Amino acid sequence: MNSHQYDAIVVGSGISGGWAAKELCEKGLKTLVLERGRQVEHLKDYSTMTAAPWEMPHRNQIPLEDKKANPVVNRCYAYKEDTAHFFVKDQDHPYVQEKPFDWVRGYQVGGKSLIWARQTQRWSKYDFEGPSRDGFAVDWPIRYEDIAPWYSYVERFVGISGSYEGLDTLPDGEFLPAWEMNCVEKEIQERILKAYGDRKFIIGRCAHLTQPKDVHLQQGRGQCMARNQCYRGCPFGGYFSSNSSTIPAAAKTGNLTLRPDSVVHSLIWDEKKEKVTGVRVIDRVTKEATEYFAKVIFLNASALNTNLILLNSTSSRFPNGLGNDSGMLGKYIAFHNYRGSLSAGFEGFEDKYYFGRRPTAVMLPNFRNVHKQEMDFQRGYMSFYSAGRGGWGGTGDMNFGADFKEASAKPGPWHVFMMMQGETIPKESNFVSLSQDQKDEWGIPLLKVSVDYDENDELLLNDFLEQGEEMLSKAGCFNIRKTDSKQSPGLDIHEMGGVRMGRDPETSLLNGFNQMHLAPNVFVSDGACMTSTGTQNPSITYMALTARAVDYAVAALKRNEIG
């Protein structure tokens, strides 16, 4: 037992787990990070980071056999031949879909921080106040003012590019120079603002180093080259990942022990001490069982896996899962609604083009139900658009020769794409649970997922499609086409909830510092902790909540309040 004793254990090495490791180690705690996947080291294990398409067996396409064998992961936009090694294959880690749900996972050191979309927007005060004001879920136990300093803290270390806009619906942060809109995007922005007055599209905010500062250079990271090959792992460290940033920072302290291939079975509740003392681990390769012990445990295994671990952490004190006296564990799962999109053409500017492959789009903060309830649905959506030119190569029936060569040097007409990111309302009927008769190869019950859209989601979707069409029309676009992808929940890869924060142990699992009400030395700060989803990309909020929770946990340890 003594050889397996640490000050802190972190379960998961992704975006929030990496931050937990960094903060705990830098505060002097001997910290064990458990990752169920394989080791992936920055640079060393980015096997395709500089590969050209012709250097790959299938020219960066997924072969038919793989598509048939892995239908879920093949629906992910980032899954291609050059990135497939960073994604979980369907048959390797099954789960039970009580309702259609696409669970996209990345099991390796760094988790999905290697393959995320890197969009980072702060929540506003309206997002934290929304559940209380509008009467859904439960009241957040924190407000924007509580987390704002921690947003700044992580933004400075991560490196966020963005523009200062002074919008109360999308607060400004600590920004590196912003990416630039192209000429058509600027024209559309100006026309929509002129038509509506209060709908201000701005350039997206993302975790890319446009102009590295000393704090980034000290991490060994460099400027983003706008290659649009981020999901391979970046040789420049141009975007933020656990592998390029937080895990090396933790290792630099000498306080980090990183153990890959460690599948966490459950947390250990000591009946005599009446507290959690450690974790049970199954070796991914050998299937050998081991136990590790610590004073404080951070659970950052990703939203649904964190729910799974807690549901599987049963004892005579907690027969239905750790801390689950209320019966709330696994319930009120929510996600982001991505079903709506529009495409259109745009005339003019045919003498103009743009530079590089920018890693972000143009975005519009939510404008529905912000200050008060005004629609026939609750909450709202962010909107994103981008403009570009395709069609290189001329017509398909052109003969090879000089004409083909000349046509191949000319881009086609401008096109516009717009999409939504809608808030879904957490509800008890959206939940996860454990299978009673099916287990994985490590002896852990399979997760059952019962999550679906509701009428509110349909109303919100229809409003986006109507408003999107109207905005593009006023912007001068033509041939506008509306699309409902009808994709299953989960493909957004923004699943949240199940171990939500709140003020009352009867209706929540965590307090305002991500600390379990009934197991005070356990903290959850990944997507499972979220009380509601907002309309923004959630990752920067996970990071800020994690840094804040570690600061609180270490202070509590020093006061002998936990551990």
Report the distance separating Cα 259 and Cα 109, nearest Å: 9
Q: Which neighbouring-strand residues pair with 560?
A: none
Report the distance separating Cα 145 and Cα 343, nearest Å: 38
DSSP state, residue 228 = S
What is the SS3 assignment for 276? Answer: strand
Report the distance separating Cα 545 and Cα 531, nearest Å: 13
CA separation, residue 110 to residues 100, 104, 136, 526 (Å)? 27, 15, 34, 14
- Determine the pLDDT at residue 404: 82
DSSP for 85-98 reads GGS--TTTS--EES
- Give 233-279 as a 3 state SS string: CCCCCCECCHHHHHHHHHHHCCCEEEECCEEEEEEEEECCCCEEEEE
Where on the phi/psi map is residue 407: left (φ > 0), alpha (ψ -120 to 50), or beta? alpha
pLDDT per residue of the chain (563 residues) written in tens, 0 to 9: 557 999 999 999 999 999 999 999 999 999 999 999 999 999 999 999 999 999 999 999 999 999 999 999 999 999 999 999 999 999 999 999 999 999 999 999 999 999 999 999 999 999 999 999 999 999 999 999 999 999 999 999 999 999 999 999 999 999 999 999 999 999 999 999 999 999 999 999 999 999 999 999 999 999 999 999 999 999 999 999 999 999 999 999 999 999 999 999 999 999 999 999 999 999 999 999 999 999 999 999 999 999 999 999 999 999 999 999 999 999 999 999 999 999 999 999 999 999 899 999 999 999 999 999 999 999 999 999 999 998 876 666 778 888 888 888 889 999 999 999 999 999 999 999 999 999 999 999 999 999 999 999 999 999 999 999 999 999 999 999 999 999 999 999 999 999 999 999 999 999 999 999 999 999 999 999 999 999 999 999 999 999 999 999 999 999 999 98
DSSP state, residue 400 = S
- Determine the pLDDT at residue 35: 98
Q: Which neighbouring-strand residues pair with 96?
A: 448
Residue among 170, 222, 233, 234 nearest 199 (CA): 170
Q: What angle do CA 321, 327, 333 make, to 5 degrees?
A: 90
DSSP for 419-488 reads EEEEE----TTSEEEEEEEEE-TTSPEEEEEE----HHHHHHHHHHHHHHHHHHHHTT-EEEEEEE--PP
Q: Which residues of 389-428 are buried (b: 16+ CB within 10 A; e: fewer)?
A: beeeebeeeeeeeeeeeeeeeeeeebbbebbbbbbbbbbe
Residue among 555, 536, 545 nearest 150 (CA): 545
Query: For residue 507, how many other CB atoms are within 10 A of its CB?
Result: 14
- Determine the pLDDT at residue 392: 79
Residue among 248, 250, 213 nearest 25 (CA): 250
* 174 CB burial (10 A radius; 0-12, 13-18, 19+): middle
Report the distance separating Cα 378 and Cα 161, nearest Å: 31
- Determine the pLDDT at residue 409: 84
Cβ atoms 176, 221 nearer than 8 A: no
Where on the phi/psi map is residue 59: left (φ > 0), alpha (ψ -120 to 50), or beta? left
User: How far, in whole angstroms, is CA 419 from its chain's centroid?
Assistant: 17
Query: For residue 135, how many other CB atoms are within 10 A of its CB?
Result: 10
User: What's the predicted TM-score (pTM) here?
Assistant: 0.97
Query: For residue 1, how many other CB atoms are within 10 A of its CB?
Result: 9
